[in-house]
Amino acid sequence: MSDAPVTTDESPTRRAMVRQSMGWKRILVLMVAGFAIWIVLNATTLQHNAQVSPVGARRTLSLQILNPIAATSRTLQISHIESIANGMLGRNGNVIGYGNVTVLGPTKKPAVKSKTSTTTTVPTAILPSATNPLRVLIVGDSIGIDLGDALQNQLASTGVVTATLDAKESTGLTRPDYFNWPAELQGDLAKVNPQVIVIMMGANDPQDFPGPPDVPFGTPQWNSLYEQKAVQLMTLATSSGAKVIWMSVPPMQDAGLNARVATVNTLQSEAAGQVKNVTYLDSASVIGNAQGLFTPFVTVDGKILNVREPDGTHVTPAGGAVLGSYAITTIQQKFKIPIP
């Protein structure tokens, strides 16, 4: 037998090259996986950034990719991981830890300094029952979906209300070329014949009206045209005798966006004051802080609730429930409709 050592065909240099190749592949896989996790965790923020961008092919493609991811993130409540982490670290905008959380309710003075409407009381002849349920229609944009999902379930649980939700992401009043809400609402009125309509939209509206000629956002011409569009939709909503609740866009975490949304809210409030049977509700009075600004947490009945998504724009299921309760209280107390 030979005493020569056993050798292989693979040299030390080749083994090093193989290890380097395998290491590079692992790094690439980790990078891709990390990027995918980042997209899922930030899907709602990315979706909003796409929503507020100008309508066009790039925006459409972005939303086609992000909408299902963001929807999955909300359904599985994955996006709350970031929100919870921010809350623990005290990184949630106007709230420092939990110490500055304010107990808010519908009776708080609205933050929007503008006219509000006076709603005529609904006749007490409206007595909802299981055999004759109250017909409620809920419409809006993606934040309207946040409200509508919760409100629809709340109303259905009463056993005396039939609630229909028709909300479309990335829509509003400034881009009828993208989605025509008056035409959509006209169809809803024919199908549902609602007695009460709850509307929440406007976060996508701070942009130019398309021309020709374009009407730039922030100009007196834009303000006049937007108020006119809001009056038209409210007039249509009440044309069949329905009572309308128009809920304002909630305060935004981004200061620039919040200022633009404040303009939209003011014009919506002024429009509501011109149309009979429209009641304007300030959402900041129930999911804003004491100054009517963005806050991710509020206290309701002694419980701290996370009411805003990590993107600083959308509303969590808990926030939707708070807004939904605000709408239901209005139906009960102001409209005098006896629902549980």
- With 0-12 / 13-18 / 19 or more C-beta atoms within 10 angstroms meaning exposed / middle / buried, residue 15 is exposed
CB of 290 within 8 A of CB of 236?
no
Give the structural domain span for 34.
12-80
Between 51-65, 98-112, 118-132, the lowest mean confidence (pLDDT) is in: 98-112
Query: How far apart are the C-alpha atoms of 340 and 237, rounded to whole Å?
Result: 25
Picking from 234, 216, 235, the residue whose alpha carbon sits closest to that of residue 225 is 216
Query: How far apart are the C-alpha atoms of 262 and 45, rounded to whole Å?
Result: 20
114 and 71 in a single domain? The answer is no
155 and 19 in a single domain? The answer is no
Q: Look at the chain and report how many structural domains it folds into.
A: 2
pLDDT (mean) for 274-295: 97
180 and 235 in a single domain? The answer is yes
CA 63 to chain centre: 15
Cis amide prior to 68 (ω within 30 degrees): no
Q: What percent of the chain has pLDDT over 90?
A: 61
Task: Classify the phi-psi angles of 179: left when phi > 0, otherwise alpha if psi is within -120 to 50, otherwise beta.
Answer: beta
pLDDT (mean) for 237-248: 97
CA Rg, the chain, in Å? 25
Asked whether residue 43 is domain-assigned, the answer is yes
Asked whether residue 88 is domain-assigned, the answer is no
CB of 311 within 8 A of CB of 48?
yes
Asked whether residue 200 is domain-assigned, the answer is yes
Q: Which residue has the higher pLDDT, 259 or 29?
A: 259
What is the SS3 assignment for the chain?
CCCCCCCCCCCHHHHHHHHHHHHHHHHHHHHHHHHHHHHHHCHHHHHHHHHCCCCCHHHHHHHHHHHHHHHHHHHCCCCHHHHHHHHHHCCECCECCCCCCCECCCCCCCCCCCCCCCCCCCCCCCCCCCCCCEEEEEEECHHHHHHHHHHHHHHHCCCCEEEEEEECCCCCCCCCCCCCHHHHHHHHHHHHCCCEEEEECCCCCCCCECCCCCECCCCHHHHHHHHHHHHHHHHHHCCCCCEEEEECCCCCCCHHHHHHHHHHHHHHHHHHCCCCCEEEECCHHHHECCCCCECCEEEECCEEEECECCCCCCECHHHHHHHHHHHHHHHHHCCCCCCC
61 and 192 in a single domain? The answer is no
pLDDT (mean) for 94-121: 34
157 and 129 in a single domain? The answer is yes
pLDDT band at 46 (very low <50, low <70, confident <90, very high): confident
pLDDT (mean) for 152-162: 96
Asked whether residue 5 is domain-assigned, the answer is no
Average per-residue pLDDT in the chain? 82
Enumerate residues 6+ apart whose C-beta is below 8 A from 334: 119, 121, 279
pLDDT band at 53 (very low <50, low <70, confident <90, very high): low
- With 0-12 / 13-18 / 19 or more C-beta atoms within 10 angstroms meaning exposed / middle / buried, residue 244 is buried
Query: How far apart are the C-alpha atoms of 199 and 173, rounded to whole Å?
Result: 12
pLDDT of residue 15: 62
Picking from 138, 127, 223, the residue whose alpha carbon sits closest to that of residue 173 is 223
Picking from 30, 45, 80, the residue at the C-terminal end of a domain is 80
pLDDT at 150 over 70: yes
Strands 303-306 and 243-247: unpaired
pTM above 0.75, yes or no: no
What distances in angstroms separate CA 141 from CA 131, 172, 248, 339, one per listed residue? 31, 7, 12, 26
Picking from 52, 80, 108, the residue at the C-terminal end of a domain is 80
pLDDT (mean) for 41-56: 63
Asked whether residue 221 is domain-assigned, the answer is yes
CATH assignment at residue 227? 3.40.50.1110
43 and 183 in a single domain? The answer is no
